[in-house]
Structure 1
């Protein structure tokens, strides 16, 4: 989506000239001829960038004073100063106040466009860096894995990204819902515009309203821009949307309906063009039945549903994912990269991973720090078992319990071992009979008969349902 640029100049010919140049390049423009109009334009909706003349006739404030006000209230808003009578000292003064650049009139079109492009590019980079700080320490910066289920997730993201539809992303904690939302934005026509995240779970009702809608200036504080306005022409992610109060949900419904809102303490309307994505790890149908989530909000958000699978449903991705996470953790912590033995990977694949990729990332970081041996030595399975047993709430269901088996008669012990052994590898290969048969060295038909005789498939179903 196009960035919006506010042009502030007292000469209508100059404004029209700049607007024509910018609109030919795909930008959207608004215009102001004096300080009052400039302040009103910024108040109506914060633009992506301001082009500001220094000398303004019939204006209460000149360009430098307007710059000071904008930078006080909107410190990240890029401002390019222009002047036909500029001096070196004036340029230095404007830069110290916070102007991105100073261009003398008459200006060359390519110089103006290049300066605007650089300013918007740096502004976008700052936003992305801030967003990445929030995600620092997270499990992955991309959805890793070549399993059929993850390939389908990526295809769905690409398909829906190219549309303007709202998307409701559901899944257990740690499955990558926020990352999927960022990928949807990256595949959209809004990819060069802001991607803004509001974590609904971390804010109470009053604070949430302030973050969403912003606040008008008063005697004690300047105007605060909310995330809806910040995301204009871009994408807003409502992370864990089920944690909104019913009152805030009602306000969001109205915003989604008419794309406008009022700042807290204000009486004017702010019009925005925002694509809204939402995530939740909760059952919204159950919450609607309880009366704690509005049906009208659900249907407005759930235009396209996207479900992120639990890690237990695509275990075949664990080898690739574990290697990716180990390398990423090693680089971020300044440590040597280590590798996992085949048995260590098998142990990771046999675990249930209730915390999904987040838990996997934590276990691998623990292994990177605590696993014995030099950096060039592979991490063994016993280190993985120890790390998993140290995880809060860790469960090794599905792994052979030797103490119990040792107390059984030989025939029953052999059957118990065979059952747990086959359960282990079936789980490891996500129930794929052919791959399990190949690994354990059995004919596929013989494995089927063995599984049926030992009741392995029934046990797998019971564990999946539990």
Structure 2
């Protein structure tokens, strides 16, 4: 999309404009009627459209073509020309989304100024799309754990379809990365990926943001749904969508069309919808905050994104990935993680999940004063609540009140639970790390009442009986 399409029923006019633009270094195509124009646009959308309002012997006039182009290719700037220009036609053209309006006979210098500005707009829009596409391609799925492999397997199954996907999981777990991965691997990968932050927009602004609007002063302002045409629209935290908007989105999903705020014309869109939520939508439905019909429309393929606690094995590779990202984006040093630092990170609690891990890595790299390996002592102090300022172990109040045998068993139970979950339920790796034979570890776990069970593609450990029964 790097040329200019000139549409005018007067051959001399379109050839004159074409010759002038080619002298200025632009590539051009010519069309004499609406059919030729639409054939050219459908074959390859141009970077810019110069369009005559009045087209003799054509099924569509310039305004009709303008409406169609703005519906199907909203990023193409359109410059309207007419020998019958008046303020009403100019206003009508601008309202329908034209970039500018020039009256015949036109001044060549004025025409070139408008065209250069319009081409700059076209280039910026294309660069913006390319940046979005690059962002999609860089949204890598990183991990090696069983829970991660199970998630990746589910995502792979839905990439080649157009089915609607509902991603569930806690905040920061990587739901948007999963959505971008689906898009990047799909047949819509070259089309836009547009995110709708349902929690970050005021309810009264939501519909104008989604559907766009039409005003006499500003003309057509395409909304996010229109911008996503041909690609994917991602409803981030869909439970926060205003209830009034929910019914209108439901109608869009049924009809694949909508009307802009303040407008009358129907806008048709071809969209794949991916949604995410960290809340239980069944509870939201029961509380009257979410429409059940919309839930069933969006929840065609439900996929659960595991928390970081469910994929602790991935912490080292994720941390390494974020270190590389910080180096490329901010020039921060590339540093390795010591085994002690990895072990501590794998035993931490992560309420903020992968997002929290990324922030922690960035914080350590910024505040660190060296380029050597990252030591456990460099991690935030609140990550090691079991030690005092001098590194001595501080007993919890409960543990300090127990007899030695019970305290030892309580410590062993908590320690082994932590290590098993750290290694994703892998008993062999846990036994190797803690320095026990595998059979001995099994006997110890049984004596402590610790069992492992499958969850989200991984194995997690838990206490099978109250502490009093196993102490």
TM-score of the superposition, structure 1-length normalised?
0.76
Contact map agreement 1:366 1:387 (CA 8 A) in 2:
no
Q: 1:254 aligns with which of 237, 247, 251?
A: 251
2:126 aligned with 1:99, yes or no? no
Instruction: Supply the distance in 2 between the matched residues of 1:422 and 1:332 (Cα, whole angstroms).
Output: 39
Q: Tell me the CA shift for residue 98 of structure 1.
A: 1.8
Counterpart residue number, 1:388: 383
CA gap 1:51/1:335 in 2 versus in 1, 3 angstroms: closer
Equivalent residue runs for 1:129-140 within 5 Å: 129=131
Contact map agreement 1:196 1:235 (CA 8 A) in 2:
yes
Contact map agreement 1:147 1:316 (CA 8 A) in 2:
yes
Counterpart residue number, 1:374: 370
Contact map agreement 1:216 1:265 (CA 8 A) in 2:
yes
Instruction: Supply the distance in 2 between the matched residues of 1:268 and 1:205 (Cα, whole angstroms).
Output: 24
CA gap 1:178/1:7 in 2 versus in 1, 3 angstroms: farther
Counterpart residue number, 2:164: 166
Instruction: Supply the distance in 1 between the matched residues of 2:264 and 2:43 (Cα, whole angstroms).
Output: 35
1:174-231 C-alpha deviation (Å, 9 max, x unpaired): 0111121122121222221221111111112210011011111134x33321111111
Q: Tell me the CA shift for residue 60 of structure 1.
A: 3.5
2:455 aligned with 1:453, yes or no? no
CA gap 1:269/1:307 in 2 versus in 1, 3 angstroms: same
Contact map agreement 1:344 1:379 (CA 8 A) in 2:
yes
1:295-342 C-alpha deviation (Å, 9 max, x unpaired): 110011111112111111111111100111122123322221122110
List runs of 5+ in structure 2 lacking aligned partners. 11-30, 55-59, 453-459, 467-471
Instruction: Supply the distance in 2 between the matched residues of 1:296 and 1:359 (Cα, whole angstroms).
Output: 34
CA gap 1:432/1:417 in 2 versus in 1, 3 angstroms: same
Instruction: Supply the distance in 1 between the matched residues of 2:363 and 2:163 (Cα, whole angstroms).
Output: 40
Q: Tell me the CA shift for residue 289 of structure 1.
A: 1.1
Q: 2:192 aligns with which of 191, 194, 218?
A: 194
Give 3-state SS (helix, strand or coil) of 2:144's partner. Answer: coil
Contact map agreement 1:167 1:277 (CA 8 A) in 2:
yes
Instruction: Supply the distance in 2 between the matched residues of 1:185 and 1:255 (Cα, whole angstroms).
Output: 20
2:53 aligned with 1:34, yes or no? yes
Instruction: Supply the distance in 2 between the matched residues of 1:237 and 1:61 (Cα, whole angstroms).
Output: 42
Q: Tell me the CA shift for residue 144 of structure 1.
A: 0.7
Contact map agreement 1:166 1:277 (CA 8 A) in 2:
yes
Counterpart residue number, 2:9: 10
Instruction: Supply the distance in 1 between the matched residues of 2:219 and 2:228 (Cα, whole angstroms).
Output: 20
2:323 aligned with 1:329, yes or no? no
How many residues align? The count is: 418
1:388-438 C-alpha deviation (Å, 9 max, x unpaired): 36xxxx999xxx964356776554454344333323321211222121112
Q: Tell me the CA shift for residue 50 of structure 1.
A: 4.2
Deviates more, 1:415-424 or 1:31-40: 31-40
Counterpart residue number, 1:60: 85
Instruction: Supply the distance in 2 between the matched residues of 1:53 and 1:23 (Cα, whole angstroms).
Output: 18
Instruction: Supply the distance in 1 between the matched residues of 2:401 and 2:166 (Cα, whole angstroms).
Output: 51
Instruction: Supply the distance in 1 between the matched residues of 2:175 and 2:432 (Cα, whole angstroms).
Output: 34
CA gap 1:74/1:335 in 2 versus in 1, 3 angstroms: farther
Q: Tell me the CA shift for residue 154 of structure 1.
A: 2.2
Query: What is the Cα-based RMSD across aligned positions, in Å?
Result: 4.2
Instruction: Supply the distance in 2 between the matched residues of 1:189 and 1:316 (Cα, whole angstroms).
Output: 32
TM-score of the superposition, structure 2-length normalised?
0.75
Contact map agreement 1:170 1:280 (CA 8 A) in 2:
yes
Counterpart residue number, 2:15: none
Instruction: Supply the distance in 2 between the matched residues of 1:265 and 1:53 (Cα, whole angstroms).
Output: 23
Q: 2:173 aligns with which of 159, 169, 175?
A: 175
Instruction: Supply the distance in 1 between the matched residues of 2:386 and 2:260 (Cα, whole angstroms).
Output: 49
Instruction: Supply the distance in 2 between the matched residues of 1:180 and 1:367 (Cα, whole angstroms).
Output: 26
Give 3-state SS (helix, strand or coil) of 1:305's partner. Answer: strand
Instruction: Supply the distance in 2 between the matched residues of 1:41 and 1:338 (Cα, whole angstroms).
Output: 57
Instruction: Supply the distance in 2 between the matched residues of 1:319 and 1:272 (Cα, whole angstroms).
Output: 42
Q: 1:154 aligns with which of 148, 152, 156?
A: 152
